[in-house]
Structure 1
Amino acid sequence: MAASPEMIRHTIEQYVARVANGTTDEILDLFAESATVEDPVGTDVRSTPEALREFYGALEGLEQVGTLQTVRIAGGQAAFQFELITKAGEQNFTLSPIDVMTFDDDAKITTMRAFWGNDDMVVS
């Protein structure tokens, strides 16, 4: 049985919270075993557990706030926008990517593609 929209929304909410403040293991727990990540779109697709661990490991320990803004769920897939503010010294780096994900029957992420570019990073 396919994951319900409620299950998928819960995974998305956990993803945003864990990207902002979770551990690498907590983030990776949301992914299916054979998941892929393309972040941002146009870069190499990360398709091994080691590559995903390296990618998300770079977030661990950063001072961040994540806020889910808009979610659309249909057919076992979702597109959503969230804001991630990273504090580094006296500066804040704000990014609001649009992520597109697919999910397995357990609402684990099977693919993640993040749409954003350098011009979308706001420094304040």
Structure 2
Amino acid sequence: MTAEQQEIGLSDKIAATVQAYIDHLNGGSAEDIVGLYAEGATVEDPIGSSIRSSRDELVEFYGIITGLDSRDATLKWTKIAGDTAVFEFTLVTGTAGMKFEITPVDIMTFDDEGKIVTMRAVWEQSDLKQL
């Protein structure tokens, strides 16, 4: 297999993982989302916050989102190059009769199997809107 063929294969794996990430934000469990991550992966969400690096920390982090009354994630666009994907999505969540919307840009790197190695989310508190 040529380097170009490997690149195409990885790009397809990355695209599938990004879509699965959005799908799991919509209806999966914290375990489903964390299952997309490689062993030893890190999450920095948002950039500048503490880096989560253990499986337990990732499950706890995504458990906050998956524990909400409602959630609706919509992928807006994705760019993939090499082992990296950058994508924007809108996430509308609901809890206790209130709804919130945020549109982060995530930067993820991946291993050869298409598992997430690093995730960094670009957003700040002022991006969180109450609907």
- Report TM bin, short chain: over 0.9
Gap regions ≥5 residues in structure 2: 1-5
Q: Distance in 2 between matches of 1:90 and 1:28?
A: 28
Tell me the amino acid that sits aligned with residue 77 of structure 2.
Answer: T
Corresponding pairs, count = 124
Q: Distance in 2 between matches of 1:49 and 1:87?
A: 26
Gap regions ≥5 residues in structure 1: none
Aligned to 1:44, what secondary structure does the other structure show?
Answer: coil
Larger relative contact order (CA 8 Å, sep ≥ 6): 1
- Structure possessing the higher radius of gyration over alpha carbons: 2
Q: Name the structure where helix makes up a greater proportion of residues.
A: 2
Partner in structure 2 of residue 53 of structure 1: 59
Partner in structure 2 of residue 4 of structure 1: 10
Residues 1-124 of structure 1 mapped to structure 2, 5 A cutoff: 4-62=10-68, 63-124=70-131
Tell me the amino acid that sits aligned with residue 106 of structure 1.
Answer: E
TM norm structure 1:
0.94
Tell me the amino acid that sits aligned with residue 77 of structure 1.
Answer: T
Q: Distance in 2 between matches of 1:37 and 1:46?
A: 5
Pairwise CA RMSD of aligned residues? 1.3
Q: Distance in 1 between matches of 2:100 and 2:82?
A: 33
